[in-house]
Amino acid sequence: MSICEDSWNGWTPADNDRSPTVVAGSDDIKHFHGIGVRIPRGYDYFNETNNKNSGYVTQLKVSHSLNGIDYKEFGIVETGLNHTTFDYFKIIYLYNTYHSSVNVYGRSIKVQPIKWVGDKPSMIMEVIYFPIKLTQSGTVRSLAPIFWTPAANGVVREFKQKVSFESSFLVPPKVAISLNTLSNSKESSTIVSLSVQNVTRFDFIAVFSSWGDSVIWDIIGTYVATIDEQLYYPEELPTTNW
């Protein structure tokens, strides 16, 4: 769930220099384990000397409140951003078993940049609750040609392959795969059915199946892995590194 759909809104300047402080809160998030910070559209990481909006934040001060008025400082968080960063969405894990109870209903969060590179950032940050539905995608490609023995129509041949995620999830996600194959007879794209087994935080077993006498010499496909809010709770979150 996003605090505001338009990332140019939903922020409050911290001072006359327009260093933004973001205050966000919601009563409809019951499992509130962290936040994300989104850099606004058009943010230029590669032109920090010429673009006043291209300074990037390296440290954020995070505070939290149960009533939205009295804030308690949570700590300083390293953003991991730099001028070569392509990923404009940074998840900050605020809560785990050492810092909060399960019941964080109605909590408000205040985020303020305190250290940056380049000009003092006038950028607008959007605060996003975590967990929201997180999606991760990647490419599946066979390491070697895969051949099915020709068989009569209606006979299914299967091939199992372990596929690793590009980066691990907190908990096992749901996985769906869209798969294209190249046939050595037609050299055209075709669809084969696929199921997923033994999904973990790091990899899964993909089961490719083909009908009849098709012979497939290469597999190129994509996967989409999704985690829903209901799947995890604070005791399953990893210890933060800061």
Give the domain CATH number at 175. 2.60.40.2080
Answer yes or no: are the C-beta atoms of 107 and 66 closer than 8 Å.
yes
How distant, in Å, are the alpha carbons of 28, 63, 79, 84, 106 from that of 71? 20, 6, 21, 33, 13
Same domain? 25 vs 125: yes
CB 148 within 8 A of CB 214: yes
Same domain, 16 and 123: yes
Q: Are residues 180 and 219 in the same domain?
A: yes
**In contact, 167 and 173? CB cutoff 8 Å:** no
Q: Count the neighbouring beta carbons within 10 Å of the beta carbon of residue 25.
A: 19
Closest CA to 178 of 157, 214, 206: 206
pLDDT of 1:
25
Is 1 within the bounds of a domain?
no
* 101, 132, 163 - which closes a domain: 132
Please check whether residues 100 and 188 belong to one and the same domain: no
Residues of the chain with pLDDT under 70: 1-57, 64-69, 74, 79-109, 111, 118-159, 166-167, 170-171, 178-194, 208-222, 227-242
Tally of structural domains, the chain:
2
- Residue 163 covered by a domain: yes
Are residues 80 and 142 both part of a single domain? Answer: no
Residue 18 is predicted with a pLDDT of 39
82 domain-assigned: yes
Q: Tell me the residue range of the domain where 215 lies.
A: 135-229
Which of 87, 107, 132 is the last residue in one of the domains? 132
Rounded Cα distance, 109 and 9, in Å:
16
Residues 22 and 102 in one domain: yes
Same domain, 20 and 127: yes
CB 180 within 8 A of CB 224: no
Q: Are residues 192 and 144 in the same domain?
A: yes
Q: Are 54 and 125 in a shared domain?
A: yes
pLDDT given at position 156 = 61
d(CA 157, CA 123): 55
What CATH number should be reported for the domain holding residue 119? 2.60.120.260
Query: In terms of domains, do 128 and 18 share one?
Result: yes
Within this chain, do residues 39 and 117 fall inside the same structural domain, yes or no?
A: yes
**Same domain membership, residue 110 and residue 166:** no
Q: pLDDT at position 9, please?
A: 31
Does 59 map to a domain? yes
Domain boundary among 76, 101, 132: 132
pLDDT at 172: 73
Q: Is 210 within a domain?
A: yes
Give pLDDT, residue 147: 56
